[in-house]
Amino acid sequence: MSPPCAAFPPSKLDVHVQADVKGKKRKLPGGADVDLTKCALKEMTQYRCFVENSQSRNSPVRCWPIHRLFRQCQDKKGTFMVETTAWEGSKSDPTTTTRHNSQAIGNGKSQDGHSSEPSYHQWSQAWEDE
């Protein structure tokens, strides 16, 4: 089991990324601080799925994409990854963050009532949602 993680707001990510998992300051050339904006941006799509009716053997499974963003940075020990999904959305102009927004987007509905535009969801912060 991995160790517990401290929860903090996205605005504090710049501060928290300066220390490694043991709490020691990351060492960069010249004693500089880690600048997340200079780290390579990586993205990943995961899917969150639910069985509509778990009592029925033929029940459909519904899945939603969850778009996650990471930054791959380098210190003297090597490379490390930092999830920046919420941070990317909080530091950007709201008109350019539609894919990074934690709320579902898209209000165009087709005739059957489903959205014609993609929507993105974010993992819940709770260990067990339901």
Res. 127: pLDDT tops 80: no
Q: Is 112 left (phi over 0), alpha (psi -120 to 50) or beta?
A: alpha
Quote the pLDDT of residue 118.
Answer: 46
- Per-residue pLDDT, averaged over 42-52, amounts to 94
Whether residue 40 contacts residue 90, with contact meaning beta carbons closer than 8 Å, is answered with no
Whether residue 74 contacts residue 86, with contact meaning beta carbons closer than 8 Å, is answered with no
Tell me what the pLDDT averaged over the chain comes to.
76
> Could you give the CA distance from residue 89 to residue 25 in angstroms, rounded to a whole number?
26
pLDDT in tens, 6-39: 788 999 999 999 998 888 999 988 889 999 999 9
Two structure tokens written together for 109: 């509905």
Res. 74: pLDDT tops 50: yes
CA nearest to 88, candidates 54, 37, 128: 37
> Could you give the CA distance from residue 28 to residue 39 in angstroms, rounded to a whole number?
13
Quote the pLDDT of residue 91.
Answer: 64
